[in-house]
């Protein structure tokens, strides 16, 4: 597998939750104080990301049953 394919696969599997988990707690605290609206949007993205994962898992399970 070439490096470009490996990198593409990595980004296909990368989720917002993965990225969010890399943020330092201190950074998130500063964001909450200085830009709470941005943090709120990030929380919405986390919720949407989790919903997409859940639906993908359910779809995969249903496909495996057939």
**At 15, is the secondary structure helix, strand, or coil?**
coil
Q: How many domains does the chain have?
A: 1
pLDDT tens, position by position, 4-54:
666 566 566 788 888 899 999 999 999 999 999 999 999 999 999 999 989
pLDDT value for 59: 84
Domain-embedded: residue 30: yes
Residue 48 lies in a domain: yes
Q: Is the dihedral of CA 50, 52, 55, 60 positive or negative?
A: negative
The residue segments making up the domain with residue 48 are: 15-65
Residues 34 and 39: their CA atoms lie apart, in Å, by 10
Evaluate if pTM is beyond 0.75: no
């Amino acid at each position: 597998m070439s490096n470009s394919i490996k990198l593409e696969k990595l980004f296909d599997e990368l989720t917002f939750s993965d990225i969010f988990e890399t943020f330092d707690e201190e950074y998130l605290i500063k964001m909450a104080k200085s830009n709470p609206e941005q943090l709120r949007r990030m929380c919405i993205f986390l919720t949407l990301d989790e919903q997409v994962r859940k639906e993908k898992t359910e779809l995969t399970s249903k496909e495996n049953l057939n």
